[in-house]
Structure 1
Amino acid sequence: MPAIDLAKAPQPASTNPAQIRNFCIIAHIDHGKSTLADRMLGITEVVEQRNMRAQYLDRMDIERERGITIKSQAVRLPWRSGIDGQEYILNMIDTPGHVDFTYEVSRSLAACEGAVLLVDCAQGIEAQTLANLYLAMENNLTIIPVLNKIDLPAAQPEKFAEELAKLIGCQPEDCLRVSGKTGEGVTELLDQIVKQIPAPVGDANAPARALIFDSVYDTYRGVVTYVRVVDGHLSTRDQIQMFSTGVRHEMLEVGVISPEPVVSKGLGVGEVGYVITGVKDVRQSRVGDTITTYHNPTKKALAGYKDPKPMVFSGLFPLDGAEYPMLR
């Protein structure tokens, strides 16, 4: 198996950016994103077989109860390519499919260079398939078209391969066929991710710049901030500051998710990980902000995100239906 032992894999802060591939999985609701992510965790052996469970990355109670993904999850997967035999680090982000969580998807895309576009072989291309594809194209990501659930009796891979090829502008044979349930084709998909998705680009000697793409509150440790390092380097005990507010913090812990938190000495160019500063208010780690070092700050912030607009919808109806023309 091309899986690598975590202890022998390239370590955070000392991984060559050319060995890193950052990608996310995007698709319509129930097209099998989380199941495919489970298979990737199993094949790369970052989760032992005895600890494996369905929807491993869905941590919130409501996600497990309803069988949906709400929060994006980033995971570091070591992999030895079956094409060139080299060792790589894949940073995978599993995203939600529901239209209500589109903003969550857009934040994940900003931390990636490529996206795996998943389509259910039995249901075909649907609304969120298109919406998420256009989001990925806006971010100039490399798209890998994948047909999932080929093990289903109702699967029509040939039909939907043609539709997907027309949509993206590739050949039908370029659409990979996998089954997240049985694991068929997932090894080939991991090899194609290494081959097709470009490595991250950044200057290791420039002042540190890291994009905050998510943050969660932990009762015991305060705010855990998920970051993607673009330039420079972040190390434990660094004095860091938020670009937008200028607020200064000390980094108490830095590490990667694989898929449980693993403490590291730091994070280098192109790496995705987490930072803990002991802050107790999520508002001080604003999503889309740029983290830089206090003693050697960057002059230019990263692009960030558009702020989502809160919306309220209301409807007015007359008590008596006959009065409807008057209301109009």
Structure 2
Amino acid sequence: MTKTQIRNFCIIAHIDHGKSTLADRFLEITETIKPRDFRDQVLDDMDLERERGITIKSHPVQMQYRNKDGQDYTLYLIDTPGHVDFSYEVSRSLSACEGAILLVDAAQGVQAQTVANFYLALDAGLEIIPVLNKGDLPNADPDRCLRQLKDLAGFKEEEVLRISAKSGDGVAELLEYVVGRVPPPSGRSDQALQALIFDSHYNTFRGVIIYIRLFAGKLSRGDKVLLMNSERGYEVQEAGVFRPEMEAVEGLSAGEVGYIIANIKEPADVLIGDTLTTAAHPCSEPLSGFKELRPMVFSGLYPINSADYEDMKTALIKLRLNDPSFVYQPENSQALGFGFRCGFLGLLHMDIVNERLQREYGINLVMTTPSVVYQVSTTDGREMILDNPVLLPERNRITEVREPFIRAFIITPNDHIGAIMQIVQDRRGECIATESLGVKSVILTFELPLN
């Protein structure tokens, strides 16, 4: 299949607007999954995802599709999370795509993560396809949603598709629209290999499994490859795609999304955002990679049984391979013993990491009260950045303490503006801007302390 018959796209939306359900319909229409193997939210394969009803990790899948003109296409879909704590997952997924379906719940309308993910896709230069979902709900208000989409990005009514991911109405037409609107990938297979590592996970028996998007060149079993950041070389033992389970193939070429296994035993050798190339004919420069995120919330994690410290350290290394947005460093406490100071993107992110450590690695933990980072100026002219209140100097040595502030965008119906203003003011926040979003909603911009 030629590069012109490949389409890479993802689904972005606010929480619970139907991303995973729409992915299910795509998999059914393209017959990627046999009916006997089908279950709802099939791409959400973590127990935590299924229990909580949310997507935590992005999930790539390859689909074979024949359009109404009889032309065959290979579609690479990435389902993404909707919660703000996992926006880093979304940004990494966007880097592997040329197009994005912007899904909006016709009952709830444009929400906070709709706006945030729209701008992420816009910054990534993706072709954005606006879609109204759940139009068959009794409380759906598609006209209001159309006005909001027009206010958000100037989308015209005829550009917005209407579907029901649950019943499947309009989904086949959406796939046709994706094939027509999303551009094929650029880059040539006869160029030097240039592949972006956008995710990875650790397998006890096979080592690190790297998820890649090839922007140029080709790759097959037996090739000697180089990780440009660590400058370490490996031999590819297996290359494959996700259908949606991992399936080995002869090779991957420019424009495709897949995985490689190369007997990488040390998780620390793999950096998300690194560029993969061939050792014999490396590419001239690495891809731009990802912006490093700063953690917002810090907490101490300590094993209940001190003998589990080394096991916990190994578990954190493997978990960070799969989730590079959280950071950690060793610390010790007189009361709790040896443990780690960990940084997270938010409270949900912290809760998920805690549960994954307990479930996937069998580590029983004690977690300290979460806190934020403070900047402290001392009488001797030093500037200190502290994420642990235990490290604060004595009061007579402190000249100034600065706390982190955030700029928050809150989308609300007009009826609730007063109540939200009061809640934010009670938390020392200040409203700095308002912007209408349709007739009945408004975007409020606040500055308030992160703690």
Q: Is 1:305 matched with 2:290?
A: yes
Q: Is 1:149 matched with 2:134?
A: yes
Which residue identity lines up with residue 78 of structure 2 in the other structure?
A: I
**How far off is 1:244 after superposition?**
1.1
Which residue identity lines up with residue 77 of structure 2 in the other structure?
A: M
SS at match of 2:213: strand
Q: How does 1:31-180 map to 2 (within 5 A)?
A: 31-82=17-68, 84-180=69-165
1:9 corresponding residue in structure 2: none
SS at match of 1:133: helix
Q: Is 1:232 matched with 2:232?
A: no
**How far off is 1:312 after superposition?**
3.2
The answer on whether the counterparts of 2:238 and 2:248 sit within 8 Å (CA) in structure 1 is yes
Q: How does 1:162-311 map to 2 (within 5 A)?
A: 162-311=147-296
1:161-217: per-residue Cα shift (whole Å, max 9, x none)? 232133222211211011111111100000000000000000221110000000011
SS at match of 1:245: coil
SS at match of 1:194: helix
**How far off is 1:220 after superposition?**
2.4
SS at match of 1:213: strand
Which residue identity lines up with residue 32 of structure 1 in the other structure?
A: G
1:1-28: per-residue Cα shift (whole Å, max 9, x none)? xxxxxxxxxxxxxx31100000000000
Which residue identity lines up with residue 52 of structure 2 in the other structure?
A: R
SS at match of 2:12: strand
Q: Partners in 1 of 2:142 and 2:246 — Cα distance?
A: 38
Q: Partners in 2 of 1:283 and 1:56 — Cα distance?
A: 30
SS at match of 1:262: strand
Question: Which stretch of the first structure deviates more once superposed, 242-251 or 156-165?
Answer: 156-165
**How far off is 1:159 after superposition?**
2.2
Count of paired positions: 303
Q: Partners in 2 of 1:69 and 1:217 — Cα distance?
A: 20
1:4 corresponding residue in structure 2: none
SS at match of 1:215: strand
SS at match of 1:202: coil
1:5 corresponding residue in structure 2: none
SS at match of 1:119: strand
Structure of higher RCO (CA pairs closer than 8 Å, 6+ residues apart) = 1
The answer on whether the counterparts of 1:148 and 1:180 sit within 8 Å (CA) in structure 2 is yes
Q: Partners in 2 of 1:248 and 1:98 — Cα distance?
A: 36
Question: Which stretch of the first structure deviates more once superposed, 188-197 or 166-175?
Answer: 166-175
SS at match of 1:122: coil
The answer on whether the counterparts of 2:230 and 2:270 sit within 8 Å (CA) in structure 1 is no
Q: Which runs of 5+ in 1 are unaligned?
A: 1-14, 317-326
Question: Which stretch of the first structure deviates more once superposed, 166-175 or 233-242?
Answer: 166-175
Which residue identity lines up with residue 66 of structure 2 in the other structure?
A: R
Which residue identity lines up with residue 31 of structure 2 in the other structure?
A: E
Which residue identity lines up with residue 155 of structure 2 in the other structure?
A: C
Which residue identity lines up with residue 295 of structure 1 in the other structure?
A: A
Q: Percent identity?
A: 54
Question: Which stretch of the first structure deviates more once superposed, 159-168 or 28-37?
Answer: 159-168
Q: Partners in 2 of 1:41 and 1:262 — Cα distance?
A: 16
SS at match of 2:297: coil
The answer on whether the counterparts of 2:193 and 2:218 sit within 8 Å (CA) in structure 1 is yes
1:97-137: per-residue Cα shift (whole Å, max 9, x none)? 00000111000000000100000010000000000000000
The answer on whether the counterparts of 1:165 and 1:175 sit within 8 Å (CA) in structure 2 is no
Please give the TM-score of this superposition, normalised by the length of structure 1.
0.89
Which residue identity lines up with residue 285 of structure 1 in the other structure?
A: V
Q: RMSD over aligned Cα, in angstroms?
A: 1.6
**How far off is 1:219 after superposition?**
2.4
**How far off is 1:80 after superposition?**
1.1
The answer on whether the counterparts of 2:27 and 2:63 sit within 8 Å (CA) in structure 1 is yes
Please give the TM-score of this superposition, normalised by the length of structure 2.
0.65
Q: Which runs of 5+ in 2 are unaligned?
A: 299-370, 375-400, 402-451
Higher normalized strand content (fraction of residues):
2
**How far off is 1:155 after superposition?**
1.2
Q: Partners in 2 of 1:309 and 1:281 — Cα distance?
A: 24
Which residue identity lines up with residue 85 of structure 1 in the other structure?
A: G
